Structure 1
Amino acid sequence: MTEENKTYIMNLTVADVPWHRLTTAYGRGTDFPTYFKTLWEMNDLDAVKSALYALTTNMEHQSTLWHGTPFGVIFMSRILIEALNKSQQNPIANFLADELLDFFSCILQCYHDGDEMEHADPLPFFSDMLKEEYLWSEEYDEEEDEMRYEEDEVFPDDLFYSFYYYSWQAVLAYRSALEKEVSEKFAPKITAILAVL
């Protein structure tokens, strides 16, 4: 991982990302900031379950990752570390940490499966994925988006592979925090994630 990409990942804020212009499995990432806030607060189990479901199903579908996925993984990584830190005192955090570890295992499997196939090189920098040429329209129009999906090259090859490559990088950036986790309950899942990072 380059220092520039790691610095970008560690310093990115939710407000820096034009979520409404990033594709997901079921539309755009417009509501991602609200879902992240719900997960971060960890104070309402039903709300956490609902937000987690919305995020995970939009970020990964049938092993396909989307434009919103690598950016989402950055904030989900931070939420995971927070949930692990609070897991012994907060049962909602305990639940969330367990679920997020499963989700990251899925994301990393998607990356490794994609990496084994022939693919383009990723874009040089994580931030390149937010270049104007790659963003979708400012206003969401479901019909217009569906028409765009019918194009032969809806995502340039290097951009598409970047969805996978930088999702992996977004988890990798938090490797040291995962390595410090000492919870016996989560040790097997964390060990499995570290093994494929």
Structure 2
Amino acid sequence: MTEENRTYITHLKVTDVPWHRLTTAYGRGTEFPTHLAVLERMEDMETVKKSLDQLTANLEHQGTLWHATPFGMVFLSRILEKALAESGRNPAAHFLAGELLDFFACILQCFRDGDEMEHAEPLPLFSDLLREEYLWSEEYDEEEDEMRYEEDEVFPDDLFYSFYYYSWQAVKAYQDVLEQVPAEFAEPAAAVLELL
């Protein structure tokens, strides 16, 4: 991982990402900041479960990753770090830590599977994912989005592979967190580390 990409990953703020212009499995990532904030707070099990379900369903679907996925993984990696630290005293954090480790293994398996196939080179920089030509329209129009999906090349090859590559890099940047988990999470963390 280049130092430039590591710095970008570790300094990125939720407000730096134009979520409403990034594709997900079921539309766009407009609601991601709200769901990420719920997970960050880890206040009660019900809201944590709902927001986690929304995020995971939209970040990965049947082995496919989306434009919002690498950015989601940056913030989920930070949330995992916090959840692990609070898991001994907060049931919502404990639940979240276990669920996120399983989800990370799923995302990394998607990367592994994609990496084994013939693919384009990733974009040189994580930040390249936010170049204007890759972003969808400012205003959400479901019909317009559906028309765009009808095109032969919805995502250029290098952009599409970058959804996978930078999702892996987002987790890789927080590898040290996975190497220092509480003992009860050692097994799922080891599974994630093996895929890194």
TM-score over 0.5 for the pair: yes
Residue 152 of structure 1 and its aligned partner are, at CA, apart by 0.2
- Could you say which residue in structure 2 is the equivalent of 1:56? 56
> After superposition, what is the alpha-carbon deviation per residue over 1:21-70, rounded to whole angstroms, capped at 9, x for unaligned?
00000000000000000001111111110000000000000000000000
- Could you say which residue in structure 1 is the equivalent of 2:76? 76
Rounded Cα–Cα distance in structure 2 between residues aligned with 1:89 and 1:44: 13
Rounded Cα–Cα distance in structure 1 between residues aligned with 2:149 and 2:44: 37
The count of corresponding residues between Structure 1 and Structure 2 is 196
Q: How does 1:120-135 map to 2 (within 5 A)?
A: 120-135=120-135
Residue 90 of structure 1 and its aligned partner are, at CA, apart by 0.4
Structure 2 letter corresponding to 1:52: L
- Could you say which residue in structure 1 is the equivalent of 2:36? 36
- Could you say which residue in structure 2 is the equivalent of 1:19? 19
SS at match of 1:186: helix
Residue 120 of structure 1 and its aligned partner are, at CA, apart by 0.2
Rounded Cα–Cα distance in structure 2 between residues aligned with 1:179 and 1:50: 28
Structure 2 letter corresponding to 1:13: K
Rounded Cα–Cα distance in structure 1 between residues aligned with 2:86 and 2:134: 38
- Could you say which residue in structure 2 is the equivalent of 1:194? 193
- Could you say which residue in structure 2 is the equivalent of 1:110? 110
Q: Give the ranges of 4+ consecutive aligned residues of structure 1 lying more than 3 Å apart after TM superposition.
A: none
> After superposition, what is the alpha-carbon deviation per residue over 1:136-181, rounded to whole angstroms, capped at 9, x for unaligned?
0000000000000000000000000000000000000000122122
Rounded Cα–Cα distance in structure 1 between residues aligned with 2:195 and 2:113: 12
- Could you say which residue in structure 2 is the equivalent of 1:5? 5
Rounded Cα–Cα distance in structure 1 between residues aligned with 2:194 and 2:107: 14
Rounded Cα–Cα distance in structure 2 between residues aligned with 1:62 and 1:193: 19
Structure 1 letter corresponding to 2:184: K
> After superposition, what is the alpha-carbon deviation per residue over 1:97-137, rounded to whole angstroms, capped at 9, x for unaligned?
00000000000000000000000000000000000000000
- Could you say which residue in structure 1 is the equivalent of 2:163? 163
Structure 2 letter corresponding to 1:184: A
- Could you say which residue in structure 2 is the equivalent of 1:146? 146
Rounded Cα–Cα distance in structure 1 between residues aligned with 2:107 and 2:117: 16
Structure 1 letter corresponding to 2:104: F
SS at match of 2:184: coil
SS at match of 1:180: coil
SS at match of 2:147: helix
Rounded Cα–Cα distance in structure 1 between residues aligned with 2:126 and 2:184: 33
- 5+ residue gaps, structure 2, are none
- 5+ residue gaps, structure 1, are none
